[in-house]
Copies of this chain bind each other. A is one copy, B any other.
């Protein structure tokens, strides 16, 4: 495997196999797959009548929600950091 080209990682989510190509370490991609898989299985258990597509879309929406909220917190903290840095420099 040429590290610059990345590698191919075979993962399984809800019984379906996916081959992911990327420059991230295989263990990282496997960890992401496990986390998505667990979220899908959870929704699947709660709503056994939902199609796999619906389950996957709901997981994507959950993740988009978490991402949007942490992004907001992140931006706030960057602002706070700038303020603290200014106070430190001026003192």
Q: Which residues of A contact B (CB under 8 A)?
A: 13-14, 16, 18, 20, 24, 28, 31-33, 35-36, 39-40, 51-54, 56-61, 63-68, 70-71, 73-74, 77-78, 80-81, 84-85, 87-88, 91
Contacts and interface: CB of A to CB of B under 8 A. Distances in A.
How many copies are assembled? 2
Contact of A57 (B36, B61, B67, B78): B36
Contacts of A74: 70, 73-74, 77
18 contacts: A14-B53, A18-B57, A20-B61, A31-B68, A35-B68, A53-B53, A59-B60, A60-B60, A63-B63, A63-B67, A67-B67, A73-B74, A74-B77, A77-B78, A80-B81, A84-B84, A84-B85, A88-B91
